[in-house]
């Protein structure tokens, strides 16, 4: 029984090492590249939304300052 556990642990470690080695050799796959592009696009969208929000806020403040007729 102890021998089976030892064999299982050794096999698991070797299997994990094999997958880790494969991952390092392959590098960045198409899904990961696409994910990075989506992240960049979302960051740009966030920046534009902030800019628009500031413009809207500025427009609201300028109408408060304008004298009423």
Q: pLDDT for 47-64, tens place per residue?
A: 999 999 888 888 877 776
Q: Which helix or strand (DSSP H or E) is residue 8 part of?
A: helix 2-26
Q: pLDDT for 5-40, tens place per residue?
A: 787 777 777 767 666 655 555 677 889 899 999 999
CA distance 55 to 49: 10
Q: Which helix or strand (DSSP H or E) is residue 13 part of?
A: helix 2-26
**Measured at the alpha carbon of residue 60, what is the angle toward residues 55 and 65, in degrees to the nearest 5?**
125
Q: What single DSSP character describes residue 66?
A: S
What is the pTM (predicted TM-score) of this model? 0.47
């Amino acid at each position: 029984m102890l021998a089976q556990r030892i064999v299982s642990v050794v096999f698991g470690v070797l299997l994990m090492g094999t997958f880790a080695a494969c991952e390092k050799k392959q590098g960045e796959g198409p899904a990961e590249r696409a994910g990075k592009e989506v992240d960049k696009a979302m960051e740009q969208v966030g920046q534009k939304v902030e800019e628009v929000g500031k413009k809207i806020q500025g427009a609201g403040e300028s109408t408060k300052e304008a004298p009423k007729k």
